[in-house]
Each structure stands twice: as C-alpha cells, then as structure tokens.
C-alpha cells in the first residue's frame, strides 16, 4: 500500500464507472483515505487482506 500511495498525489481522484450498488469498488474516491478504502475492498475481493 505504501508504494501505491507514494506514487499518487495526495489529492488523487480515482473512479470506476459502474453502479455502486452492484459493484462495491465502483464510484469516485478522493485523496489517500479514499484510495486506501478502494485498495482494501480490492484486497478483500482478491483474497489478499
């Protein structure tokens, strides 16, 4: 996670265009906190958390 964050701006904006009610990682996120939430969801889905 630290490596991914170190490569992003602190005000990073990340978005996955999909219905958020169907896909838990869909929608916009902002900043390190939002990116961390996104990465944690992806980790759970991938079984690596």
d(CA 24, CA 27): 8
d(CA 16, CA 25): 7
Per-residue confidence (pLDDT) for residue 48, from 0 to 100: 58
Cβ contacts of 40-45, under 8 Å, gap ≥ 24: none
With b for 16 or more beta-carbon neighbours within 10 A and e for fewer, the 6-21 pattern comes to: eeeeeebeeeeeeeee
Write out pLDDT tens, residues 1-49.
789 889 999 999 988 899 988 888 888 999 999 999 888 988 888 885 4
d(CA 8, CA 6): 6
């Amino acid at each position: 996670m630290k490596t991914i964050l170190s490569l992003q701006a602190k005000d990073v904006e990340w978005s996955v265009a999909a219905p958020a009610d169907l896909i838990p990682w869909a929608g916009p996120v902002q900043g390190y906190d939002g990116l961390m939430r996104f990465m944690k969801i992806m980790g759970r889905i991938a079984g690596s958390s």
